Structure 1
Amino acid sequence: MLKEGSLDGLATAARSGNHESMASLYAAFRPMVVLRCRAELDRAVSDSAADAACVAVLTAVCDGSETNQPFLRLLYASTSVAIARAVSDGFAVGPLPPPTTLPVVERDVLVLRLIVGLDNEETAISLARTTDQVSLDLHRALQRLRKLPSPNAIREMLVST
C-alpha cells in the first residue's frame, strides 16, 4: 500500500510551504477520498463531498492546525465530516448497506479496507484503533454482510461503487 509515513512526510513538507510536496500530497490522497465518498454517498453528490473534504484537508495542512495526529487520521476525519454534511443535507447514501445493517466502526473498516484499499495498519491509524481491533471489525462486518438476503449482496455493493 502506502510507504510507511509517506503521507505524513509529504504533509510535513507541504506545511513548510513546499508547493511540489503539496501537489504530491493532494495527488496521493484525493483518490482515497473520492473512493470513500462514492462508496458512502449517491453519485450525484459524492464528488462534491470529496472536493469539500480535500479542501478541508489542505487547509488543515497549510495552517498547521492538525500537526498532533497522523495524516491518515486527519484525512479520515475530514472526509467523515464532508460525508455527514451531505447526508444531513438530505442526499441519499451510496451503494453500501445503510448504517442500520452494520455498526459504524465496522462499516468504516469495510470501506477503508475493501474500497479505499488501505492495509490493516493504515486503517488502524485512520480510525485510532489497534490492528487487532480492525481485523476483528472487518471479520464481524463480513459475517453480517454474509447474512444479507441476496447471496450476491456484497459483490453488488462493491461493484456498483
Structure 2
Amino acid sequence: MLQEGSLDVLAAAARSGSRESMASLYAAFRPMVVLRCRAELDQAVSDSAADAACVAVLTAVCDGSETYQPFLRVLYASTSIAIARAASDGFSGGSLPPPTTLPIVERDVLVLRLIVGLDTKATATSLARTTDEVSLDLHRALRRLRKLSSPNAIRKVLTVTREVGEGWHSGVCRGRSGGSPISD
C-alpha cells in the first residue's frame, strides 16, 4: 500500500507535466477507485463509474485546480460524485432502501478502511476528519454491524447508493458543511 504522502508527491510531479508521473499516479490510485466503486455499485456499472472518477481526478490534477487539497480528498470526492451520478442515472439497477442502522459517515469509513484498504490517517484525510473521529466512527459502525442478523443485512448497509449531494459529505471534501471543491 502506498503511503499517503507518496500520492501527493506523485500528484505534484504529474501537475508539472511529467507523463511518467501521471502514469504512475494513475496506476497507484485506480485500484482504490475500482474497489470502492465495486463495493458501492452493481457490477454492471461499477467499472464505468470508476473510469469516470479516474478521468475527473486526472483532470483536476492536470488543470491544477485542486493544488490546495490533499490528493486523497480529491480522489474521494471525485469517486463519490461518480458513484452518486451512476446511481442517480438509474444505471445501478436502482438504489436500495436507505439504511436505518448505519449513518453515512460510518459507512464511508467502513468502505475506505475495510474495502479500499486505507489506513486511519489516509481515511481521515479523505473524509476531512481527524484520525480520532475515524477510529470512533469505525468502532461505532462495527458495533452496529455486529447487531445485524445476517450477512445480507450487512451487505445492504454497505451498498446503499446515494443521490448527488445527499448526506453528510455532499460531494465530500469540506467536512460536515458539505460542498466539494471538485464541483465548485
Instruction: Provide TM-score, normalisation by structure 1.
Output: 0.89
Asked if 2 retains the 8 angstrom alpha-carbon contact of 1:99 and 1:107, the reply is no
Q: 1:142 to 1:6 in 2, by over 3 A?
A: same
- SS for the counterpart of 1:5 is helix
Unmatched 5+ stretches in structure 1:
none
- SS for the counterpart of 2:79 is helix
Within-5 A mapping of 1:4-153: 4-90=4-90, 91-92=92-93, 98-150=98-150
Instruction: Provide TM-score, normalisation by structure 2.
Output: 0.79
Q: 1:38 to 1:145 in 2, by over 3 A?
A: same
RMSD of aligned Cα (Å): 2.3
* Cα offset, 1:2, TM superposition: 2.1
Asked if 2 retains the 8 angstrom alpha-carbon contact of 1:42 and 1:92, the reply is yes
* Cα offset, 1:92, TM superposition: 3.5
Count of residue correspondences = 157
Q: 1:140 to 1:4 in 2, by over 3 A?
A: same
Asked if 1 retains the 8 angstrom alpha-carbon contact of 2:72 and 2:122, the reply is yes
Partners of 1:58 and 1:145 in 2: CA distance? 35
Q: 1:42 to 1:4 in 2, by over 3 A?
A: closer
* Cα offset, 1:87, TM superposition: 1.1
> What letter corresponds to residue 101 of structure 1 in structure 2?
T
| Cα deviation digits, residues 98-156 of structure 1 (max 9, x gap) | 54431110010000000000000000000000000000001111111111111686589
> What letter corresponds to residue 150 of structure 1 in structure 2?
S
